[in-house]
């Protein structure tokens, strides 16, 4: 799997302590639609893309007694859909691990309906939908247990 970074213990993107996997690609649709470079993750594209083994990542996650979920974000996980899906498949079937997997996407549900259908075969997958819109009042999302930056953003469990 190609990634731009890894936070072994993250406490800000989900209600449970999580491993945060930073995916490598994004077309910066939020910036285009808002007419400026507003993405909080613009600096992430300066990080090198590294190739890591799914089994290595999963073992690191499982060996950590603190983490209870895995979160994909940083850039756009749906732009790395096959790799994310393969990771979840390996986690579920090879390691028999059914911990929550959270995917932060800037796409709307309608834009990624086919991908969501494919992910729905896995238990405990949560997707945060919606683009970042600047200068909005944050709101608390009950599913994630954290504040989201724009009112159009929300999470659902598949």
Q: Given this model, what pLDDT does residue 104 score? A: 97
pLDDT in tens, the chain (158 residues): 999 999 999 999 999 999 999 999 887 666 566 666 666 666 777 889 999 999 999 999 999 999 999 999 989 999 999 999 999 999 999 999 999 999 999 999 999 999 999 999 999 999 999 988 878 899 999 999 999 999 999 999 99
- 71 in Cβ contact with 14 (< 8 Å): yes
Cβ–Cβ under 8 Å, residues 131 and 29:
yes
98 three-class SS: coil
Give the single-character DSSP code of 91.
I
Count Cα atoms within 13 angstroms, Cβ side, for 132.
22
pLDDT at 8: 97
**Burial label, 158 (beta-carbon count in 10 A; 0-12, 13-18, 19+):** middle
- Predicted local distance difference test score (pLDDT) of residue 70: 98
pLDDT of 43:
75
Q: Which two tokens mark 1?
A: 């799997």
pTM higher than the cut 0.85: yes
State the alpha helices, DSSP H only, in the chain.
29-34, 54-63, 81-89, 113-119
The pLDDT of residue 47 is: 87
79 in Cβ contact with 115 (< 8 Å): no
Model pLDDT, residue 132: 84
């Amino acid at each position: 799997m190609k990634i731009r970074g890894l936070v072994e213990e993250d406490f800000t993107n989900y209600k449970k302590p999580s491993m945060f996997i930073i995916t490598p690609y994004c077309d910066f649709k939020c910036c285009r639609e808002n007419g400026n470079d507003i993405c909080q993750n613009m600096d992430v594209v300066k990080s090198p893309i590294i190739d890591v083994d799914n089994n290595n990542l999963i073992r690191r996650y499982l060996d950590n007694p603190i983490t209870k979920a895995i979160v994909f974000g940083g850039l756009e996980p749906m732009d790395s859909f096959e790799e994310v899906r393969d990771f979840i498949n390996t986690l579920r079937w090879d390691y028999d691990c059914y911990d929550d997997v959270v995917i932060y996407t800037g796409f709307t549900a309608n834009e990624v309906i086919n991908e969501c259908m494919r992910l729905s075969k896995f238990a405990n997958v949560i997707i945060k939908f919606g683009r970042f819109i600047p200068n909005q009042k944050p709101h608390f999302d009950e599913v994630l247990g954290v504040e989201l930056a724009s009112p159009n953003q929300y999470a659902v469990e598949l």
